[in-house]
Structure 1
Amino acid sequence: MIIGVGMAKPCGLTKPSHLVKPVSATRVAGRYLTHQQGLPQLPVPPLQQTCERYIMALEPIVEVDELKYTKELVEDFQKAGGVGERLQRGLEKRACNTENWLSEWWVRLAYLEYRMPVVVHSSPGLVLPHMNFSDKQGQIRFAAKLIAGVLDFKTMIDNETLPVEYLGGKPLCMNQYYEVLSSCRVPGLKRDSVVNHARSSPSPKHIVVVNNSQFFVLDVYNSDGTPLTVDQLSLQLKRICSSSVAKCTEPVGILTTQHRDSWGRAYINLIKDKTNKESVDAIQRSIFTLCLDGAMPAVSEEMYRSSAAVQMLHGGGTQWNSGNRWFDKTLQFIIGEDGTCGANYEHAPAEGPPIVALIDHVVEYTRKPEMVQPPMVPLPSPKKLHFSITPEIKRDIEEAKQNMNKLAQDLDIRVIMFGHFGKNIPKAYKMSPDAFIQMALQLAYYRMYQRCCATYESASLRMFRLGRTDTIRSTSSASAAFVKSFDDPNKQNAEKVDLMEKAVKAHRSYTNMAINGQAIDRHLLGLKMQAVDDKLSIPDLFKDAAYAKALHYQLSTSQVPSKTDCVMCFGPVVPNGYGVCYNPMNNHINFAVSSFNSCEETNAADLAQAVEDALLDMRKLLEQNPRAKL
């Protein structure tokens, strides 16, 4: 249930092209608030509409007799004067009294109360193209430019001058941008929390750099408030690297990879010590974390991006870089000595698109010709953070190491660049690229398993104030009819094309419904939560096997479009499922596919190949059919 890094917007967000000009340093007081207050509130969909659409969503994934039973439960739930109506009234009342009836519940349930490790199970990684350096010197120079680029973006956040994004001509909620810097997740025993220091006074002026599993505070602003130059940052990073040459034997950062309850207990123990508490505070308060990784073992060009994805998602286990992280940090940039670059982010404060917009800006910034830099002024050396390791903490670290290594071995991830075509082909046939790709995923899965499964695609609710995500259910009766007919020799091509067009249209229609706040998943969750809040027994509808099946997403997918040729990646959300993230460019599509090795039924490479075949076969079908006019 920790799903949804992305945004289902086939044509991508409109991102102003002027993002990388020198940023305005004048604060526009109150602009952000005025914009936010102008956004509509998230609606509560009509009860009967959601009930009808719920039955339709179940049709392709449950058996006939199961569906008959569920229909009876739904009838009973929504009858006049019944429990459904009572819960709906409660939800409508909640919507009147809160900025967003869903967001607090969602963050709590999907993230803060979710107890699996954030690594792989919740936090996405982002793989950038291979950068043009392959030694320590190049790594340090690039890292310095990257820091400067983030600080440049931060100026827009601080001054409330971020260009507002639009979706279909409507302004989007910009709140997530204000949540990703100077924030951090904090483990608890049953529920975590997120601290955000961006608006605290004084606001943080440092980042934390991790090298060889050792943590350093690097002040990134001069005493007059100006950001350090690239030269100054390079010098400070060199100092950090030269004072942490050997790998730390007790990597405290590895504790953040643990199951949340285990980490919660270890955390209480860790911060009893004053030095440890100060060090942890410095990490939590930092603007972001920068992880400087050693070079990775050489792999073939074909496997390079998959190997990089491993580094971005979990660091490759203790023998590599899993201890060179603080996974609770909202934003971690990762730069390898061999030019491998990317990021990892903790999912509770934000979805993928704001992170990608920030990274697009930073990558463009690093490519700008360097300005003539002012003469260097002496700077105090970065401060190393110290940890006092008791025998008990040492035991916790050892346990975390073992568990992390198991998880690293269990995750299989394949990143492929599908180079035959990109958004251009579906667009030429007047089809939504996102819907076209989703139908290829449906076809690939059906060919492998001879059945359809519950599929999650994240839809952005940012048209609404504090909006997060809802679910686009990509498996529909139309998609099922299409995939079942595709390889049937008794079906004519014209009929197959017709079914493809219907499936693509059905997906497009569900997407529009979802981004306009009319999808079913979050509404059903809200009704269930309302029952909990009202201290009522959970209605039978939510105890039904069909409801569990509907939420068991064997395909958890997300489109995260970007200007940079990158791809986001995340783990499966169920043990026998796949995580699929994609970035459609004009002439190619980047895919990241993940699965667990411990599940015999799933195989990331097989699904990646099946998706590639499905995309090519769908194009071939369109080309062979005179009706599908270009």
Structure 2
Amino acid sequence: MAEAHQAVAFQFTITPEGIDLQLSHQALRQVYLSGVRSWKKRLSRLKNNFITGVYPASPSSWLFVVIAILATMYTRSDPSMGLIAKIQEHLPVSQSLSPQCQTVVSAVLFSTLLWLSLIFTMRLCLKQLLSYHRWMFEQHGKLSNTTKIWALVRIFSGRKPLLYSYQGSLPNLPVPAIKDTVKRYLESVLPLMSASEFERMKSLARDFESGLGNRLQWYLKLKALWAANYVSDWWEEYIYLRSRGPIMVNSNYYGMDFLYVTPTPIQAARAGNTLHALLLYRRKLNREEIKPVSCTIIPLCAAQCERIFNTTRIPGEETEITGINNSLSLLNSDYLAIYHRGRYFRLWMYNAGRLLSPREIEYQIQRILDDPSPPSAGEEKLGALTAGDRVPWAQARKQFFNSGINKRSLDCIEKAAFFVTLDDDEQGMMGNDPDGSLDRYAKSLLHGKCYDRWFDKSFSVVIYKNGKTGLNAEHSWADAPVVAHLWEYVLATDSFQLGYNEEGHCKGDINPNLPKPQRLSWDIPQECQEQISESLEVAKALADDVDFHVFPFRDFGKWQIKKFRLSPDAFIQMALQLAYYRDKGMFCLTYEASMTRLFREGRTETVRSCTSESCAFVKAVSSHKDHCRRLFRQACDKHQHLYRLAMTGAGIDRHLFCLYVVSKYLGVESPFLKEVLSEPWRLSTSQTPFQNVELFDLVNHPEYISCGGGFGPVADDGYGVAYIILGENMINFHVSCKHSCAQTDSHKFGAQIRRALLDLLALFCPDQNEPTIAGNPQTKKDL
């Protein structure tokens, strides 16, 4: 094949006349240019590491200190109190240096040591300031003097911090006290247990707290002293990488395109802008030009950003690894792996040392779309191996992809910057069936056909036939906010910066001499094809069981909720509690994801949204409005308090999880921990953050609004609910459950969510009639 020949830099043949050597100058030139790019990246990373290492000072401040010290010396004063003279005494004797030059060298050395000492002191101060979290628990407008002084963190923030500037100053995640964790746990399960069940659990907790818990806690504190984060590595390994079931649906999640707008209906053109924007983000990431994400003025940990690109989950029989392909190495991060109609391609994204323009990428994508070649035997559904159980995939990888062309092609996919699927389906909100089309769109992004995504890649971009896009992300390497930040940048860059011409094509010129995308070759034996079929069967059963409902809620949004002086997130969580109770007639253990990125290498913590206060409100929802409002505010305040505790390292579940891991390492059994870790989360919720607000103009362009993303159900008999608060007047919900459970229905639960939100609005709006809640006979019947 011609494209395969272009990928070879040289060929040689041994003949009777000698060795016939043929060089491909084009390929050698690409090798040279890739090396130049690699070294530029190395130098850029070296420079950024130095700038980050001296933060919050700047490299130019060193010169200021040196000049200041030399200036004071020339005024016949000694700012070093004799240290410069001591340094001069120990300088190597050199005939070429005059005494005056030796004094200057000594002064420069002293200035450098002074500068480094000042940097060390400033970093310690910054770390102490970033360790202060009491500001989160104070009422708005009623700040304590300590918090006002703490606001000095702005002084240490620097003018233009790089992405990783704060990493060395972020505090370590603290280990909560055993008694505090046990107390909060018992509070969380009180409304979910009968009196006898609670007394039994309280007895188990008391025995654990006074006995084994202290021993396990000692090991955990030892780890916290040694490791940057005592949770994250165990969380990644035991929750994600040691899971032996399919990661499709069970672990991976998705992100959607704009809800109401498709910038172009041309598939190749949308791919051109989207893929170019993704590589622009990677360039900014490599240069650390992305502004650090912050919570008010407090920076969040950016460690997860290092693994956005060139990352693949490598299957194993017992555990797996998140393989990170070094983005600075030669030739292994300048291309994408692309799937179309059962064929795999390698698409180089650079030519002559520069990133391809969107129009050039469109041209290359169109070449793939027009390629009539059929898939080879076993190639079409090869991706099903990544969708099924992990052990068969690990065994097949070891047996059939360990050498030869299969290994080279698999390496190409795993070392690609990311994975792209050119899908033949049309998705998005369709005018003839807006509700059903969004449900199908969500299912397509979550699992597709179960073989047309590479679920092991850090993320896979899906470009549909009608120009709609989306992505599917693997969960072990990072959490949704990191991927959401990337995706928001891509959507905004695609529509507002790159744009399209009048015909819907990407802007710019085409270089017709670009080498063709390279078709990957496979030699898949019959035994491997049988394993692919078995994995596909497992994945199809899982995918067909998923019941999804996606709906935009437009009746009101954040603006209206804030008028009530309530937290929008707490408001929605209480609505979810009310909806679940109406749907099931009972309460359940509820999971809400909260981040712990205020700490170094922080990931997530659990907020247990079902509380005694929320249950009291739900049970009294048909009572008098004033009483109902008071209970609702108490429930929201309790939820906010729990959310702040989780963010500041005082959550329950990660601490208990780590204690359980220590107990397994020690080979001891804890009845208390065993019961806690086996409790099902029948309502799993997560808010998708909207972070790049400045990139979108929702006032002048309200139609350019994202639909957010979602995930599969966590429990077989439960619901998964993701929601995104967009602008001031819209909330999008993604509800999932399983068809196999007769007690769950995503559409029914979605209707209960909508009804609960409207009832809560009526509770606080004075122009609504009292019977909206209290007098509604259907409401009383459901309760």
Aligned residue runs from structure 1 range 93-104, under 5 A: 93-104=222-233
**Correspondences of 1:132-143 after superposition (within 5 Å):** 132=262, 138-143=266-271
- 1:29 matched residue in structure 2: 48
What's 2:485 paired with? 357
Does the C-alpha gap of structure 1 residues 248 and 598 become closer, same or farther in structure 2, counting only changes over 3 Å?
A: farther
Say if 2:178 is the partner of 1:55.
no
Picking from 517, 533, 544, the partner of 1:398 is: 533
Write the letter of the residue equivalent to 1:223. A
- Deviation, structure 1 residue 378: 1.6
Instruction: Say whether residues 1:164 and 2:292 are aligned partners.
Output: yes
SS in 1 for 2:724: strand
Q: Does 1:470 align with 2:605?
A: yes
Shift of 1:45: 0.7
Aligned to 2:756: 614
Residue segments in structure 1 that go unaligned for 5+ positions in a row: 1-24
Q: Does 1:308 align with 2:471?
A: no
Give the TM-score, by structure 1 length. Answer: 0.90
Aligned to 1:595, the other structure's residue is in SS state strand
Counting only pairs closer than 5 Å after superposition, residues 407-418 of structure 1 correspond to structure 2 as 407-418=542-553
Partner of 2:407: 277
> Is 1:266–2:396 an aligned residue pair?
yes
d(CA) in 2 for partners of 1:219 and 1:369?
A: 20
1:451-470 superposed matches below 5 A: 451-470=586-605
Q: Cα offset for 1:372?
A: 6.5
Aligned equivalent of 2:621: 486
Amino acid at match of 2:436: M
1:573 aligns with 2:705: no
Q: CA deviation at 1:536?
A: 3.7
Cα separation, 1, equivalents of 2:382 and 2:711? 24
614-623 vs 55-64, which moves further: 55-64
- Structure 1 partner of 2:126: none
Once residues 246 and 686 of structure 2 are traced to their aligned partners in structure 1, the CA distance between those partners, rounded to angstroms, is 20
Q: 1:247 & 1:502 partners in 2: Cα distance?
A: 61
Instruction: Give deviations 1:202-221, integer Å, cap 9, x for gaps.
Output: 25111111111211111111
Question: What is aligned with 2:99?
Answer: none
Deviations 1:228-247 (A, max 9, x none): 11121111111111225656
* The one of 176, 185, 188 aligned to 2:316: 188
Higher RCO by CA contacts (8 Å cutoff, separation 6 or greater): 1
Distance 1:258 1:375 in 2: 41
User: In structure 2, how many angstroms separate the alpha carbons of the residues matched to 1:547 and 1:196?
Assistant: 31
Q: Secondary structure at the match of 1:537?
A: coil
SS at match of 1:233: helix
Structure 1 residues 578, 187: closer, same or farther in 2, change over 3 A? same
CA distance in 2, matches of 1:147, 1:283: 16
- Please give the secondary structure, in 1, of the residue aligned with 2:48: coil
Change (3 A) 1:543 1:417: same
Contact kept, 8 Å, 1:576 with 1:601, in 2: the verdict is yes
Give the SS at the match of 1:482.
helix
Question: What is aligned with 2:280?
Answer: 152
Task: Please tell me the residue identity of whatever aligns with 2:615.
Answer: A
Distance (Å, rounded) in 2 between the aligned partners of 1:326 and 1:372: 30
Partner amino acid, structure 1, of 2:175: V
Q: CA deviation at 1:464?
A: 0.7
Per the TM alignment, residue 304 of structure 1 is displaced from its structure 2 partner at its CA by 1.8
Using the TM superposition, give the Cα deviation of residue 266 of structure 1 relative to its aligned residue in structure 2, in angstroms.
2.0
Shift of 1:294: 0.6
Determine the C-alpha separation between the residues in 2 that align with 1:556 and 1:333: 25
Contact 1:211/1:244 (<8 A) preserved: no
Match status 1:366 vs 2:508: no
The answer to whether the aligner puts 1:210 opposite 2:210 as a matched pair is no
- Classify the secondary structure of the residue corresponding to 1:457: strand
- Residue aligning to 1:526: 658
- Would the aligned equivalents of 1:172 and 1:463 in 2 still touch at CA under 8 Å? yes
2:731 to 589, 614, 617: 589
| TM-fit CA distance, 1:565 | 1.6
Please list the CA deviations of residues 382-422 of structure 1 after superposition, one character each: whole Å capped at 9, or x if unmatched.
11111112111110121122222212211010000011011
- Map of 1:283-298 to 2, 5 A cutoff? 283-296=413-426
Q: 2:358–2:507: 8 Å Cα contact kept in structure 1? A: no
Aligned to 1:508: 640
Distance, in Å, in 1 between the alignment partners of 2:507 and 2:543 is 44
Whether the 8 Å CA contact 1:494–1:625 is kept in 2: the answer is: no
Residue 29 of structure 1: SS of its match in structure 2? Answer: helix
- Counterpart residue identity of residue 483, structure 1: V
| Partner secondary structure for residue 291 of structure 2 | coil
CA contact (8 A) 1:77 1:83 kept: yes
The one-letter amino acid paired with 2:282 is K
Residue aligned with 2:214, SS: helix
Indicate which of 244, 248, 253 corresponds to 2:383: 253
1:234 matched residue in structure 2: 362
- What is the rounded CA distance, in whole Å, between the counterparts of 2:760 and 2:641 in structure 1? 20
Cα distance, 1:561 vs. partner? Answer: 2.2
Letter in 2 for 1:508: Q
| Contact 2:267–2:467 (Cα < 8 Å) also in 1 | yes
Q: Distance in 1 between matches of 2:262 and 2:226?
A: 53
Shift of 1:497: 0.7
Distance in structure 2 (CA, Å) of the matches to 1:592 and 1:123: 15
Cα deviation digits, residues 592-625 of structure 1 (max 9, x gap)? 0000000111111111100000000000011149
2:199 matches 1:68: yes
Could you tell me which amino acid in structure 1 is paired with residue 715 of structure 2? V
Whichever residue aligns with residue 445 of structure 2, its letter is M
Please give the secondary structure, in 1, of the residue aligned with 2:439. Answer: helix
The equivalences for 1:71-86 within 5 A come to 71-79=202-210, 82-86=211-215
User: In the alignment, which residue of structure 2 is the partner of 1:438?
Assistant: 573
Query: Is contact 1:460–1:515 with CA below 8 Å preserved after alignment?
Result: yes
Counterpart-to-counterpart distance in 1, 2:435 and 2:347: 37
Query: Would the aligned equivalents of 1:289 and 1:331 in 2 still touch at CA under 8 Å?
Result: yes
Cα shift readout 1:510-568 (whole Å, capped 9, x = no counterpart): 000001010010001111112223x2412221233x6533xx10011100022542221
* Higher helix fraction (1 or 2): 2
Are the counterparts in 1 of residues 377 and 524 from structure 2 also a CA contact under 8 Å?
Answer: no
Out of 508-517 and 273-282, give the one that drifted further.
273-282
Counterpart in the other structure of 1:498: 630
Q: Which residue of 2 aligns with 1:598?
A: 740
Q: Could you tell me which residue of structure 1 aligns to residue 131 of structure 2?
A: none
Conserved 8 A contact 2:335-2:347? yes
CA RMSD of aligned residues (A): 2.0
Return closer, same or farther for 1:438/1:431 CA change in 2, 3 Å cut-off: same
Distance in 2, Cα, partners of 1:176 & 1:463:
13
Per-residue CA distance 1:240-267 (angstroms, 9 max, x = gap): 1122565677321111111111222222
